[in-house]
């Protein structure tokens, strides 16, 4: 049985790719860039989705979540910056 193609072109999350803040794709702290790299998505898409969800949902404190992730997510190693 063939697997269906992903209509959005989004890749699955590789298990050997740890979640970390990005040094290359950062606007403020690299959180959305790191999440995008982890998911294999475009950093622009992750940022837009994050802003839309933060603005549209009163139960989702976007700024607080971003700050917590900024503190908890380790920064990308220099060696993986190539």
Domains contained in the chain, number = 1
Look up the pTM and report it. 0.72
Which residue bears the tokens 């700024």?
A: 63
Q: For a pLDDT cut of 70, what percent of the chain falls above it? A: 74
8 part of a folded domain: no
pLDDT at residue 1 tops 80: no
pLDDT score, position 6: 54
Query: 15-42: buried (b, 16+ CB within 10 Å) or exposed (e) per residue?
Result: eeeeebbbeebbeebbbbbbbbbbbebe
Q: Domain range holding 62?
A: 31-75
pLDDT-derived band of residue 33, with 50, 70 and 90 as boundaries? very high
Mean pLDDT on 48-53: 92
81 part of a folded domain: no
pLDDT score, position 44: 95
């Amino acid at each position: 049985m063939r697997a269906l193609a992903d209509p959005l072109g989004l890749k699955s999350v590789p298990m050997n790719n740890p979640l970390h803040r990005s040094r290359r794709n950062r606007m403020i702290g690299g959180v959305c860039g790191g999440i995008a790299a982890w998911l294999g998505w475009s950093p622009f898409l992750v940022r837009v989705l994050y802003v839309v969800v933060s603005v549209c949902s009163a139960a989702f404190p976007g700024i607080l979540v971003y700050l917590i992730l900024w503190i908890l997510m380790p920064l990308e190693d220099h060696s993986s910056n190539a």
